[in-house]
Amino acid sequence: MASSDALLPISAREEDPLVSDGSRSDPNAETHRRKRPVKGLLAVSFGLLFIAFYVVLIATHHGSSRSNDVKIESDETATTTSRARLAGVSEKSNDQLWKLSGERNTVSFAWNNSVLSWQRTAFHFQPEQNWMNDPNGPEPKRLVADQRSDRREPAETRRRPDPGPLFYKGWYHFFYQYNPNAAVWGDIVWGHAVSKDLIHWVHLPIAMVADQWYDANGVWTGSATFLDDGSLVMLYTGSTDKSVQVQNLAYPEDLNDPLLLKWVKYSGNPVLVPPPGILPKDFRDPTTAWKTSDGKWRITIGSKINKTGISLVYDTIDFKTYEKHDTLLHKVPNTGMWECVDFYPVSKTAINGLDTSVNGPNVKHIVKASMDDTRFDHYAVGTYFDSNGTWIPDDPTIDVGMSASLRYDYGKFYASKTFYDQNKGRRILWSWIGESDSEAADVQKGWSSLQGIPRTVVLDTKTGKNLVQWPVEEIKSLRLSSKQFDMEVGPGSVVPVDVNTATQLDIEAEFEIKKETLDKILGDSSVVAEAEEFSCQKSGGSTVRGALGPFGFSVLADKSLSEQTPVYFYVAKGKDSKLKAFFCTDTSRSTFANDVVKPIYGSSVPVLEGEKLTMRILVDHSIVEGFAQGGRTCITSRVYPTKAIYGAAKLFVFNNAIDATVTASFKVWQMNSAFIHPYSEEAVRALSST
């Protein structure tokens, strides 16, 4: 029986260090900088209408004239009361999903404070209360003359002398979308926090609020850039008092302040408005700027034309005036609105990160877009052409947003953004992890959403076709006691793992199936070849048995396994007599609550010759993050057990294969709390001394 101490979350038993002493384009096409609008996008009459409306907009608000035109769409015609939909973005809508899942006529689960309190994470970043979503602005860049790719030294291996991402005067800065007034979307401002290690954070005062006509309906996603003289600028999307999405400029009030507590908005805002052919609610989320070969700064902004997702390209010298390209960075038909577009280089040969301005023969470029229609983050590996500001995918069959395209994460993971961390020469990925419960439950507990553990991201140099992601090394600082396990798990077995409470864990594991077993399965004609048709989502979950799987861990399980979240591999035989591995997370039995979306997540994962099957799992109360094969395939899930909480949360290893015995070797660490603190000068001083 667990001790009374084990019934408490780990964070209640460990000492807080802060309070203790101790569009495919021809690469040879002529470069255009001041070009005509995209061909075929605008009828003459439509353009005149845009011009007329924009003149009215600027005249009404005494704004300065801009070079592009905008159509103002009245909110009076809206047929829904959703504030987010009126603004042109998506807010949480899980309430309808669970009601349509077969339980629509049932009363929602009666949450109590004890269960809801347990759901709050211990080492993931989240505000003290209320709603949060997209990460903002953690990616400043600066390029000096000797960093250009025409240097003889390989561009992708050079270190940058600048202070890095929003790693400023010794602090990592994190800005995020925040509603200070409620646990639902709305009243969006910029939250702000600082850290020395990306794990232990101190909340700071709100960085920017919606106090101007050009951001009256929200201070939305943006990105930062360090200029050549060391100054810092921030471009962000504002939703105007007419719900038009525009781009605005801000900068720190005092560059000598390491905490960057105060920001000033440019008096000439907005600096960019929706161009002709782009609807007023389809123009958002500017990227970090990168340097072109002719010394200009370049950004891209997500949008759509009809159902085609696009990424617009602009050049600038001073971030106040812009030249719009006629060509697009990229476009993919039938993918809908592209949000939170990200664009960055990755090395083909090294495992270090690259500054966004780096280009060269040993560099590939990633285009990532968050799909507003599906709420998935898709990316593709490809080639960027600086001469005309275009990019093409290496494999057009898995282009950005297509059904077969690659994703950062196959679970609950959206609106992600990377930054180049000059402090350690790495590229870091952040993401908004939304809730899977009902909005009513969020209101009751007083908060909604969090950020995933920051991940390093590099090109998989073994395959050359995909990225690999891994939790930042600093997360290891939270590891407490550990246990090593080595065991054979027979077909149909479920084995309890003796780790006491299992609410906050870091698990690293290797699995191996004997070669003779694999050869037997491949040579057995009675074993169905299912690899081509298999899908984690449609498989029926971890209870459906196959010859070689599923096998893995059940996390956040109660003693009787009435609640559990299996994270597992499934190995399937293909029609080509080769084996294919899948990595899945099954949340269908994660909770007795009925007002929760409980999908089965997953995808295939490349396993190269000679590799064992490996996984890492981070468990932190209501979030489970899984990484297969060194991070080739990742799955984040939100789970809300009602019984498997506090000391009743257990860990099991299982093998539900029919024919295979699995050898499992794994290590399990208990994890400490990150002790994220409210703002005070004392908290900042304490964190700065750690």
Evaluate if residue 293 carries a pLDDT over 50.
yes
Evaluate if residue 115 carries a pLDDT over 50.
yes
Largest interatomic CA distance in the chain: 78
Q: Which two tokens stand for residue 206?
A: 């709100």
**Residue 166 binned pLDDT confidence (cut-offs 50, 70, 90):** confident
**Residue 13 binned pLDDT confidence (cut-offs 50, 70, 90):** very low
**Residue 459 binned pLDDT confidence (cut-offs 50, 70, 90):** very high
Evaluate if residue 346 carries a pLDDT over 60.
yes
- pLDDT given for residue 410 in this prediction: 98
For residues 463 and 457, what is the distance between their CA atoms, to the nearest angstrom?
A: 15
Q: Which helix (H) or strand (E) holds 430?
A: strand 426-433
Across 576-612, b (16+ Cβ under 10 Å) vs e yields eeebbbbbbbbbebbbebbbbbbbbbbbbbbbeeeee
Residue extents of the structural domains in the chain: 130-142+162-471, 479-671
For residues 69 and 59, what is the distance between their CA atoms, to the nearest angstrom?
A: 13
- Which residues have C-beta within 8 Å of that of residue 146, sequence separation ≥ 6? none
Residue 98: alpha-carbon gap to chain centroid? 24
- pLDDT given for residue 535 in this prediction: 95
- pLDDT given for residue 97 in this prediction: 54
Q: What is the DSSP string of 456-476?
A: EEEE-TTTSSSEEEEE-GGGG
Q: Residue 3 — φ and ψ, nearest 5°?
A: -70, 165
Q: What is the mean pLDDT of residues 260-274?
A: 97
For residues 221 and 340, what is the distance between their CA atoms, to the nearest angstrom?
A: 8
- Which residues have C-beta within 8 Å of that of residue 358, sequence separation ≥ 6? 147, 149, 155, 156, 158, 345
Lowest mean pLDDT among 11-15, 146-150, 311-315, 343-347: 146-150
Q: What is the DSSP string of 351-416?
A: SS---TT--STTEEEEEEEEETTTTEEEEEEEEEETTTTEEEES-GGG-TTSTTSEES-SSS-EEE
Q: Which two tokens stand for residue 142?
A: 């600066």
For residues 304 and 337, what is the distance between their CA atoms, to the nearest angstrom?
A: 5
- pLDDT given for residue 401 in this prediction: 97
- Tallying the residues shown for the chain, one arrives at 690
Q: What is the mean pLDDT of residues 67-73?
A: 37
Model confidence, pTM: 0.85
Let me know: does 329 contact 313? Beta carbons within 8 Å. yes
- Helix, strand, coil percentages (3-state) for the chain, rounded to 5, are 15, 35, 50
Name beta bridge partners: 506.
618, 669
Evaluate if residue 151 carries a pLDDT over 90.
no
For residues 364 and 381, what is the distance between their CA atoms, to the nearest angstrom?
A: 7
Q: Which amino acid is at 41?
A: L
For residues 324 and 68, what is the distance between their CA atoms, to the nearest angstrom?
A: 9
Q: Which two tokens stand for residue 406?
A: 């690659």
Q: Beginning with the edge strand found earlier in the chain, give each strand of the sheet holding 548-557 in spatial order.
A: 493-497, 650-655, 548-557, 565-573, 579-586, 600-605
Lowest mean pLDDT among 52-56, 261-265, 482-486, 511-515: 52-56
Specify the DSSP class assigned to residue 571. E
Tally of CB atoms within 10 A around 36 = 9
**Residue 46 binned pLDDT confidence (cut-offs 50, 70, 90):** very low
Q: What is the mean pLDDT of residues 454-473?
A: 97
Evaluate if residue 5 carries a pLDDT over 70.
no
CATH assignment, 479-671? 2.60.120.560
- pLDDT given for residue 460 in this prediction: 98
Across 411-428, b (16+ Cβ under 10 Å) vs e yields bbbbbbbbbbbbeebbbb
Q: What is the mean pLDDT of residues 563-591?
A: 96
What is the tens place of the pLDDT at every residue in 232-249? Answer: 999 999 999 999 999 999
- pLDDT given for residue 14 in this prediction: 43
For residues 188 and 175, what is the distance between their CA atoms, to the nearest angstrom?
A: 12
The yes-or-no answer on residue 134 being catalytic is: yes
**Residue 111 binned pLDDT confidence (cut-offs 50, 70, 90):** very high
- pLDDT given for residue 685 in this prediction: 86
3-state secondary structure of 83: helix
Let me know: does 256 contact 243? Beta carbons within 8 Å. no
Let me know: does 253 contact 207? Beta carbons within 8 Å. no
Across the chain, mean pLDDT equals 85
Annotated active-site residue in 21, 69, 75, 134 = 134
Which of 66 and 193 is assigned the larger pLDDT? 193
- pLDDT given for residue 76 in this prediction: 33
**Residue 527 binned pLDDT confidence (cut-offs 50, 70, 90):** confident
- pLDDT given for residue 682 in this prediction: 87
Q: Residue 17 — φ and ψ, nearest 5°?
A: -65, -20
**How close are the terminal C-alpha atoms of the chain, in Å?**
37
Q: Which two tokens stand for residue 545?
A: 């048995």
Name beta bridge partners: 246.
238
Evaluate if residue 566 carries a pLDDT over 70.
yes
For residues 153 and 160, what is the distance between their CA atoms, to the nearest angstrom?
A: 13
% of the chain with per-residue pLDDT over 70? 80
What is the tens place of the pLDDT at every residue in 619-668? Answer: 999 999 999 999 999 999 999 999 999 999 999 999 999 989 999 999 99
Q: Which helix (H) or strand (E) holds 612?
A: none
For residues 409 and 631, what is the distance between their CA atoms, to the nearest angstrom?
A: 10
Alpha carbon dihedral 137, 138, 144, 148, in 10-degree steps, equals: -100
Which residue has tokens 């340097």? Answer: 291
- pLDDT given for residue 90 in this prediction: 56
Q: Residue 349 half-sphere exposure, CB side, CA atoms within 13 Å?
A: 8
Q: For 130-142+162-471, which CATH superfamily applies?
A: Glycosyl hydrolase domain; family 43 (2.115.10.20)
**Is omega for the bond preceding 550 within 30 degrees of 0, making it cis?**
yes
What is the tens place of the pLDDT at every residue in 366-406? Answer: 999 999 999 999 999 999 999 999 999 999 999 999 999 99
Q: Residue 478 — φ and ψ, nearest 5°?
A: -90, -5
- pLDDT given for residue 104 in this prediction: 55
